[in-house]
Structure formats: C-alpha cells, structure tokens
C-alpha cells in the first residue's frame, strides 16, 4: 500500500514536466485540465486531477487567473506529497494501517483551494469562495462561531447561504440512562475574564511560533449546549482548541482559535470532532470552509474518544519576505475517506493555511476546552460537557511554562510531564448521553 502511494505521487511529478496544446470547455465542472496562456496551452501537471469550480464566477472572470490557479494547485500538490511522505515515514502513525486521506486547504483573499487525495483514487481540487467576513458584518455573533454564518462548502453540491448553523431545538427522549457527573469539579475563577461562553483556559507564558500537541477527545458523553428546557441551543457547539495573539504591522491585532469543533456530520445524526481554523486579523475574520448549516468539514470528522494530533505554526512564506503563513494541521482516525461521507474509517490528515503580513512575536498562547452559543457569555447554557486530555504539549519543540488556569464552569488537572486534562462541565447529574439527545 505504502509503495503504491509513493509510486503514484512520483508519477504526478513526472507528468507535471510536460506541456501540451489544445482546447477546453470551462463550463465543465469536472475539468481534468486547466487552461493556460489564454487557452492555447494546457498545464498538464494537472491532467490527473478532477477540478471542481464552486466559485460561481463566469468564464470571462476565470481567464486572467488561469496561470495563478494552475500554480496554486501545483503548489498544493507538492504540499500533499510532503504530508504523505511524513505519514509514511513517521513511526507509530496510523498503526491500524487504514487507508490514508490527505487534504490541503489554502485560504486566499477571494478563492479557497482544497486539494484532496484519497488513497487509490485521482486527486480532487475544489475552488470555493473564501469564508472571510469583516467585524462589522459579524457583529453580535459569538466570536468563536460567527464566521461560520457564511456557508460555502465543497461536497457533492454547491450550497448557498442559509443562516447560522440552522439547528433547531431538539427535546431529549425519556428512554435513556444517566450520566452521574463530571470527572472533575468544574469551578468559576473569581474575577475571571472568560467572556466567550463556558470553559477553561490554560495560558502559556512564553512566545513561540509552533505549538504542537495531541488530544484525546471526549467521546459520546460530549454534550453540546442545552437550555433549561432540555433543548439544544441553536448554534451551540463544544471546542477543544489552542491559539495565540500577536500584532500585524499596519493591520492590527491578530487572534487565532484553531483545533476541533464538535458537530454533527452534515445531513446525519452522527457527531464528530472536526478541524476548526479561525483567525481574526484587524477588521477581518478568516475561517476554514463551512457548509450550508455552518458545519465544518461537511459529512466527515474525527471519531470522538480517539486521539487527534494538532499543530499550529507560523512560517515565512516562500519567496515573499513580507508575509507569514499561519497553518493548522490535524491528523487522526476519521469516519470517512472523503468530506462527502464516502468510504469507511480512514487516517485523515488535514492542513489548512492562510497568509498574512509579517506577524510580530506571537504570544499569549493558550489551550482551551469550551462550550459556546452565539451572542451569549454562557449564561444561557444550562447543561454542557466536553473534555480533552492534552498530551505531548510542545512550544517550539520544548515543553512550555504554563500560567494559572482561568475557569468558568471549567476544570484543569495536571497529569505530569506537561500533560493536562481540560474540561468544561455544567448542569450534569440527571443529563443524558449526547447521542440519545435526538
């Protein structure tokens, strides 16, 4: 299996050295080639790639960007190759030797590129409109969720906007068994500044450019926010994530929230932990793709209760000394081989990134477990639960120094060796498991 993948990727590189001439139909969404130089030459490096255009831009608007599109997709191919080599060479990675799925997402100013490679199949590239909003557009919506009100995604169909999340209240059933309580005593820190929902924040006192860790996620006992009438709160979600603050000269403050969000897989009743990429930079907010109901990663996600590897990093952009790249990498066992819900369990690696002006001294790194509902400080949440066992926490390759935790119905426990268990918990006792709240 591994030998086949290496051969396949090597063939893509060899094909990429050839240019051919001919014509093309840009109205075909399943293009296997991209026009190059006004239509007289093909960029044949992409001849084995299915390319889907979900930007809804007319043909005339595509022509000026053909060279840029071809170069971007080829750079994503190289990134996928690098990720594949890393997975194949890392010891103790994918011990079950399940099929590997790789996805690299590049968020641009107008267009987001998604390059997806499912083992044994041709790569697929999706072009979608970028999920970017201004602060004024997002005003009044919870900072952790407001970007997902804009809803473009790249499964089998293009989905227009249709409001934030689209979740309606669901009453839990009576034929259930009880959860006895939280694994730890969730508390409220006196004078805390935890304003965005409920949870716990574990601050790091050092600056750095790369934060990496693994997290064992809570399983089916995870409970998204519920109100006092035992109904799911619209737009509510649980998060296990990290981030940093910094300054972008000439733009303003940059704040990142990156990690995992607990949501249903689109058009199913199955919950998963999905990659979350969210950056507030000056007056703009940049997020990874979301579908029509604001759900990240469409019909796929990481299996609850399993380990997910997470890395957040800041790197200089190649050939551009004025730009930095902010990347989120997640890896672990997912329900499906594709974002549209096809195939069985896979080892999924997703890399999502966007480029910014030079970022100065990233600081205020932190790890969090939170539950949030839009436009609320958490006071509307009667019941919720999520936890993460954060392990192998490294900042720039070394164990960091932590500060005192801040809690609002949160709990933190040092497990030794720099590992921490973080939990958000409220209203348990006679509350039912998450999967039975349907």
Compute the half-sphere exposure of residue 356: CA atoms within 13 Å on the CB side of its CA. 29
Give the model's pLDDT for residue 381: 93
**E-strand spans in 218-270?**
223-226, 237-248, 252-264
User: What is the pLDDT at residue 7?
Assistant: 31
Give mean pLDDT, residues 14-30: 27
pLDDT single digits (tens) 371-404: 999 888 888 999 999 999 999 999 999 999 999 9
> Mean pLDDT in the chain?
76
Return the percentage of the chain with pLDDT > 90, whole number. 42
Gap between the Cα atoms of 394 and 400, Å rounded: 6
* Lowest-confidence region among 48-57, 250-259, 301-310: 48-57
Cβ within 8 Å of residue 226, ≥6 positions away: 172, 232, 233, 236, 381, 382, 383, 384, 427, 431, 437
Q: What is the DSSP string of 83-127?
A: HHHHHHHSTTSSTT---EEEEEEEE-SSEEEEEEEETTS--EEEE
DSSP 179: B
Spatial separation of the C-alpha atoms in residues 62 and 82, rounded to whole Å: 29
- The CA distance from 145 to 196, in Å, is 10
Looking at per-residue confidence, does 64 or 324 come out higher?
Answer: 324
Whole-angstrom distance, CA of residue 223 vs CA of residue 437: 9
The reported pTM is 0.81
CA distance 254 to 245: 6
Distance of CA 251 to the CA centre of its chain: 24
DSSP 267-333: TSS-EEEEEEEEEEETTEEEE--B-TTS-BTTT--BPTTSEEEEEEEEEEETTEEEEEEEEEEEEEE
Among 329, 348, 351, residue whose Cα is nearest residue 339: 348
Domain ranges for the chain: 2-128, 130-436
CATH of domain 130-436: 2.60.120.1270
d(Cα 385, Cα 388) in Å, to the nearest integer? 11
Alpha carbons 228 and 226: distance in angstroms, whole number: 7
pLDDT in tens, 283-317: 889 999 876 566 677 889 999 999 999 999 999 99
Across the range 183-209, mean pLDDT stands at 88
- Say which DSSP state 145 is in: T
Neighbours of 139 (CB within 10 A): 10
First and final C-alpha spacing in the chain: 40
**Which residue's entry shows tokens 């990663």?**
297
According to DSSP, the residues that pair with 327 across neighbouring strands are 313, 353
Q: Averaged over 188-217, what is the pLDDT? A: 92
**Measuring CA to CA, which residue among 393, 384, 387, 383 is closest to residue 419?**
393
pLDDT of residue 63: 57
Query: The tokens 């509307």 sit on which residue?
Result: 380
Tokens 């930007």 correspond to 55
Label the pairing between strands 346-357 and 100-107: parallel
Mean pLDDT for the stretch of residues 69-84: 86
* Range from 56-65, 214-223, 293-302 that averages highest in pLDDT: 214-223
- Calpha distance 60→177 (Å, rounded): 60
For position 166, what pLDDT does the model report?
24
Q: Which helix (H) or strand (E) holds 78?
A: helix 66-89
Cross-strand bridge partners of residue 5: none
Residue 298: how many CA atoms within 13 Å on its side-chain side? Answer: 17
Percentage of the residues of the chain whose pLDDT score is greater than 70:
73
Point out the least confidently predicted range of 17-21, 121-125, 183-187, 323-327. 17-21
């Amino acid at each position: 299996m591994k030998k086949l993948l290496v051969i396949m990727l090597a063939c893509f590189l060899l094909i990429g050295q050839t240019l051919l001439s001919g014509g093309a139909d840009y109205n075909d969404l399943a293009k296997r080639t991209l026009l190059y130089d006004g239509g007289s030459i093909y960029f044949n490096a992409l001849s084995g790639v299915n390319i889907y255009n979900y930007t809804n831009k007319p043909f005339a608007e595509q022509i000026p960007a053909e060279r840029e599109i071809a170069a971007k997709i080829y750079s994503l191919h190289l990134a996928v190759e690098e990720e594949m080599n890393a997975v194949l060479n890392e010891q103790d990675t994918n011990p079950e030797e399940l099929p590997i799925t790789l996805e690299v997402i590049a968020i641009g100013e107008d267009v987001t590129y998604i390059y997806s490679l499912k083992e044994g199949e041709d790569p697929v590239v999706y072009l979608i409109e970028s999920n970017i909003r201004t602060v004024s557009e997002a005003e009044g919506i919870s900072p952790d969720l407001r970007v997902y009100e804009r809803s473009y995604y790249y499964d089998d169909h293009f989905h227009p906007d249709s409001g934030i999340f689209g979740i309606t209240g669901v009453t839990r059933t009576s034929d259930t068994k009880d959860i006895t309580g939280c694994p730890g005593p969730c508390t409220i820190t006196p004078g805390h500044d935890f304003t965005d929902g409920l949870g716990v924040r574990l601050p790091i006192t050092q600056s750095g450019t790369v934060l990496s860790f693994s997290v064992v996620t809570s399983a089916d006992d995870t409970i998204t926010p519920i109100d006092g009438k035992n109904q799911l709160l619209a737009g509510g979600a649980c998060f296990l994530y990290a981030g940093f603050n910094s300054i972008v000269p000439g733009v303003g403050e940059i704040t990142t929230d990156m990690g995992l969000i607990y949501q249903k897989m689109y058009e199913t009743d199955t919950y998963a932990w999905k990659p979350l990429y969210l950056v507030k930079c000056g007056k703009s907010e940049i997020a990874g793709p979301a579908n029509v109901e604001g759900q990240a990663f469409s019909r796929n996600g990481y299996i609850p209760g399993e380990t997910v590897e997470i890395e957040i990093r800041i790197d200089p952009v190649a050939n551009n000394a004025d730009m930095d790249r902010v990347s989120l990498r997640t890896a672990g066992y997912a329900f499906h081989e594709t974002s549209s819900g096809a195939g069985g369990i896979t080892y999924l690696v997703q890399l999502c990134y966007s480029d910014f002006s030079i970022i100065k001294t990233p600081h205020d790194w932190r790890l969090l477990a939170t539950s949030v509902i839009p436009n609320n400080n958490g006071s509307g949440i009667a019941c919720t639960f999520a936890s993460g066992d954060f392990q192998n926490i490294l900042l720039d390759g070394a164990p960091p120094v932590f500060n005192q935790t801040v809690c609002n119905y949160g709990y933190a426990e040092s497990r030794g060796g720099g590992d921490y268990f973080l939990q958000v918990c409220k209203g348990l006792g006679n509350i039912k498991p998450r999967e039975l709240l349907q």
